[in-house]
Amino acid sequence: MLASVPVLFLMVGYVLAQQKPCEVCVKVLTDAMAKVPDKDKSSPDSIAKVIREHCKDARNKDHKFCFYIGALPESATSIMVDVSKPLSWSMPAEKVCEKLKSKDAQICELKYDKPLDWKNIDLKKMRVKELKNILNEWGEVCKGCTEKSEFVKRIEELKPKYVKEEL
């Protein structure tokens, strides 16, 4: 019994090490900073403007992150100064996200969903809610769909457009 306790702690530590901390935050800030022209990388106002532009097209988890930092018009509060100022000092996105975590813990709790294994997935065995989530991620709707089979049919129709088959 006592011998299994250290093994358990090692396993928990390994699992936690595999998770990327603040993965949504880091990705959004890295993508936004890639769009900032070199001459404006030291200007917090320019960086904030680019982040707001980047967030206009964001969906799902990225959109939620943008809402949390106040980069969207419908955001209740804004911590854009706490985002753009450190980025203007050339602080890495990982460090900025770490500092934002103390302001709002929700920022680092956002995680991307695991990608679906389209080769082995059976849509007919999935729940309607999961099927709706797939359509939502793609930005599609199934108008007039009431039966599970209709959602499956719609996903099968759209699958070639959104799922890239690897050779």
Domain that residue 62 falls in: 18-109
The DSSP-derived string for 115-153 is PP-TTT--GGGS-HHHHHHHHHHHT---TT--SHHHHHH
pLDDT of residue 6: 44
Cα separation, 145 vs 55, in Å, equals 31
Q: What is the pTM of this model?
A: 0.76
Span of 66-70, 115-119, 125-129, 144-148 with lowest mean pLDDT: 115-119
For 122-146, b where at least 16 C-beta lie within 10 A, e where not — what string?
A: ebeebeeeebeebbeeeeeebeebe
Residue 44 lies in a domain: yes
The amino acid at 46: S
Residue 115 lies in a domain: no
pLDDT digits (tens, 9 = 90+) for 72-122: 999 999 999 999 999 999 999 999 999 999 999 999 999 998 888 989 999
Is residue 68 pLDDT above 70, yes or no? Answer: yes
Q: How many domains does the chain have?
A: 2
Cα separation, 83 vs 66, in Å, equals 11
Residue 4 lies in a domain: no
Residue 13 lies in a domain: no
pLDDT of residue 20: 74
Measured between alpha carbons, how far is residue 24 from residues 1, 8, 86, 129 in Å? 39, 28, 18, 23
Distance of CA 88 to the CA centre of its chain: 23
Mean pLDDT, rounded, for 124-150: 93
State the pLDDT confidence band at 10, using cuts at 50, 70 and 90: very low
Residue 48 lies in a domain: yes
The answer on 130 and 101 residing in a single domain is no
Identify the sign of the CA torsion 12, 17, 19, 21: positive
pLDDT of residue 61: 93
State the pLDDT confidence band at 166, using cuts at 50, 70 and 90: low
Look at the block and give the residue holding tokens 């930005």. Answer: 139
Is residue 167 pLDDT above 70, yes or no? Answer: no
pLDDT digits (tens, 9 = 90+) for 19-65: 578 999 999 999 999 999 999 999 999 999 999 999 999 989 999 99
pLDDT of residue 19: 59
The answer on 105 and 127 residing in a single domain is no
Nearest Cα neighbor of 121 from 113, 131, 112 is: 131
Nearest Cα neighbor of 133 from 124, 142, 125, 121 is: 142
The answer on 83 and 157 residing in a single domain is no
The answer on 65 and 127 residing in a single domain is no
Nearest Cα neighbor of 99 from 8, 26, 43, 154 is: 26
pLDDT of residue 12: 41
The answer on 92 and 44 residing in a single domain is yes
